Structure 1
Amino acid sequence: MPNTPKTTSSTSSNFYLTYLKLRFFTKLKRFLQIKAKSKEQFQPSDHQPSNGSEILIVIEEKGIMGKESDKDNGWMILQKSVKKLHFGNWDEKEVAVKEIIKLAKEDLKRRKFMAELGVIPPLVAMIRGSDQAVLRRQRLAVQALTQLANGSFTNKALMVEAGILSKLPQKADNLDGNTRQEFAELILSISLLANTQFNMDSSRIISFVVSILDSSNSSVETKCTCLGTLYNISSVLENSASLATNGTVTTLLRLSSLKEVSEKALATLGNLVVTLMGKKAMEESPMMPDSLMEIMTWEEQPKCQELSVYILMILAHQSSIQREKMSKAGIVPVLLEVALLGSSLAQKRALKLLQWFKDERQSKMGPHSGPQVGRMPIDSSPMSPRAVDESKKLMKKIVKQSLYKNMETITSRANGGGDSSRFKSLVVSSSSKSLPY
């Protein structure tokens, strides 16, 4: 098994190398045909290396072909820019990268042609260093690569083959806010390869993205972009080990409590919880289940409610230890609130969890120890929206009063009244919109 990734990576590398060679010789043959017809002679400079001559031949062919289909001078600018990128000095390279960024935004066809002209390896090579001039070139290279990756699987794969993952900065703290966002957008685009058969080592991406998420200087927009990357990677089960062993779960649980990014973090946790290592990491986290119980009270964000209940369902399924842990944390009152006032899907999931707790309690204490459930009168006449809102407020008030009394009774019986003050303080401190947690 340890040799499998290397073999797959080698096969993938050989495939793209063969692909590029075939494309090159096809273009070279076409160029020679055009050259024979037009009787034009092209001789590369003597000071250029052999591989440079090959690149120049392809560039010249692209220039000829472009003139036939494009009346503007875009292809001529591209031709000159690619030459400067390969053979110019650093100032010329910067100017060339700016032109490439501008031209790459125009259409997918040009982005693919640029990759065929070999612009990706030199751009990847520019992502390194720490002095001010190098950082400026680095940022330009990242912008260009982001444009080239847009809509092209092949371009993304060529970036990975060129070693872009090994060029990522070690720490996000060394990057300013704009550069972080640009790196995050590039890595998000590359992470889409995780959903394909292309073999890619995602551990380096995970490490870099988590460093951005853990930084207090990262903006909400950047964090959302990074969470999108982790979601793409978490959709592949084989990546669960890397995500579960480097503190990613703790980072996701912490971010799930931030309403601006909660849904993306919970979606990634939802992918992880169905894996053995991901589930284990969540079970061992000291933030569980309290952080998810708090999210369950967010009535204004039903999707977050649904995801948090879903994760707790997976953890509680066939695990009496986790159900006991949740019960001690006070999950039953929160589930009752969700079952009454949550979205349709959240209500179904909450009722399912409540049924598990009810069955477990009955098996321990006997058939008559469960809560007595009565029927409420239902008015079949239509109600106005104002009456519905007033009914909801009344229902919340009744539920709170009932739960408060039940919790005091339960804790008094179980602990001799020692912990009742804890539940009392939680109920008192809760807002008018939700129960504690």
Structure 2
Amino acid sequence: IDVVSLQWQTYERAYIQRWIDCGNLTCPKTQQKLENFTLTPNYVLRSLISRWCTEHNIEQPGGYINGRSKNRGDMSVIRALVQRLSSRSTEDRRNAVSEIRSLSKRSTDNRILIAEAGAIPVLVNLLTSEDVATQENAITCVLNLSIYENNKELIMFSGAVTSIVQVLRAGTMEARENAAATLFSLSLADENKILIGGSGAIPALVDLLENGTPRGKKDAATALFNLCIYQGNKGRAVRAGIVTALVKMLSDSSSHRMVDEALTILSVLASNLDAKSAIVKANTLPALIGILQTDQTRNRENAAAILLSLCKRDTEKLITIGRLGAVVPLMDLSNNGTERGKRKAVSLLELLRKACQ
């Protein structure tokens, strides 16, 4: 493993280099101000790690054997490819980004090395390329690199979101699918949910949810679910027409595979007043009762959760779902569901009892 010392502390090189590159001026361990940024290889510790791995028949971590990097040759190849990304030749750029796409798919080590070689800002620039193949490969590279947690911050820092949204709106279907998957990956960090939500990504994701391929709809649904966990994005999603798209999925036989995703997102949205109004206006109650009567446990409990949010403190809606046949499936769910399902079903049944009285 490539360990280095900085101001009497030892770190793995990739992590401390990234710490410095992000503009931090203090030691992450002691919080003392760094007097210099010279990284000195810690050969003693590296040797001890290598010896221990050899004695215990464990593969050398981080691409090192007997203290020597297995990736040194790979790094020189990657640096050369990154340089070619800025070539004046369209064909040369296309070939280079295609090779980086392949490398970024293979391993975490490659994702670390590609980022360390400075590829991320260049790849972000290529997201707006007029060459279709280059754009497709560039967004796929960014997606692959984002899988490695520490690369997420570098991608966001490079201002990638605006370009990713542009690809999501106007790219080929493959590029749009990978752009949606990239936004999902980046939105796993809570602070990124806010930035992505304010970037115009949500209307573009809703459009893909309505008009994409089966894979595109899945990618869009996953990204939208994650973004809507943040309360401030729920209103944006409703204004973008997400409820209409989701309700259609509940009743459209061609979208039967998306019922799970639709219910999951609706259960998250149902706490928002605008979303509640839109869900009720779309005449969703019969479809939700129908789902309660199926044998899909997860879907049944999500339907119960949505109905509880919609009908709480609304006697008229409670009476309506009672007339639509909610009681029997709710009783079954209260006895045979998961803990969450039982809890939702029991709460709804109690509200129905009071409403009838």
TM-score (norm 1): 0.60
1:220 paired with 2:214, answer: yes
**Residues 102-141 of structure 1 aligned to structure 2 (within 5 Å):** 102-128=102-128, 134-141=131-138
Q: Could you tell me which amino acid in structure 1 is paired with residue 207 of structure 2?
A: S
**Residues 6-405 of structure 1 aligned to structure 2 (within 5 Å):** 19-21=21-23, 29=38, 68-70=68-70, 73-128=73-128, 134-152=131-149, 154-168=150-164, 175-193=171-189, 195-196=190-191, 199-203=194-198, 204-215=200-211, 218-257=212-251, 258-283=255-280, 285-299=281-295, 301-327=296-322, 330-331=323-324, 333-340=325-332, 343-345=336-338, 346=341, 349-362=344-357
Aligned to 2:257, the other structure's residue is in SS state coil
User: Residues 171 and 211 of structure 1 are in contact (CA less than 8 Å); yes or no, is this contact kept in structure 2?
Assistant: no
1:325-348 C-alpha deviation (Å, 9 max, x unpaired)? 435xx32x2332442478434566
User: Residues 202 and 239 of structure 1 are in contact (CA less than 8 Å); yes or no, is this contact kept in structure 2?
Assistant: yes
Q: Could you tell me which amino acid in structure 2 is paired with residue 20 of structure 1?
A: C
The 3 A distance-change label for structure 1 pair 76 and 236 is same
1:298-330 C-alpha deviation (Å, 9 max, x unpaired)? 22x121011101110121111224324435xx3
The 3 A distance-change label for structure 1 pair 255 and 17 is farther
Aligned to 2:85, the other structure's residue is in SS state helix
TM-score (norm 2): 0.72
* C-alpha distance in 2 between matches for 1:273 and 1:71: 50
- Give unpaired runs (5+ residues) of structure 1: 1-15, 32-66, 363-437
User: Residues 124 and 141 of structure 1 are in contact (CA less than 8 Å); yes or no, is this contact kept in structure 2?
Assistant: yes
1:98-138 C-alpha deviation (Å, 9 max, x unpaired)? 222233234334423322332112211112255xxx11110
Instruction: After TM superposition, give the deviation of residue 349 of structure 1 in Å.
Output: 3.8
RMSD: 3.3
State the match for 2:11 in structure 1.
none
Q: Which has the larger radius of gyration?
A: 1
The 3 A distance-change label for structure 1 pair 116 and 92 is same
Q: Could you tell me which amino acid in structure 2 is paired with residue 184 of structure 1?
A: A
The 3 A distance-change label for structure 1 pair 235 and 102 is same
User: Residues 194 and 233 of structure 2 are in contact (CA less than 8 Å); yes or no, is this contact kept in structure 1?
Assistant: no
1:356-388 C-alpha deviation (Å, 9 max, x unpaired)? 2332222xxxxxxxxxxxxxxxxxxxxxxxxxx
User: Residues 289 and 321 of structure 2 are in contact (CA less than 8 Å); yes or no, is this contact kept in structure 1?
Assistant: no
Equivalent pairs, count: 299
Instruction: After TM superposition, give the deviation of residue 272 of structure 1 in Å.
Output: 1.6
Aligned to 2:282, the other structure's residue is in SS state coil
Indicate the percent of aligned positions where both proteins have the same amino acid: 20
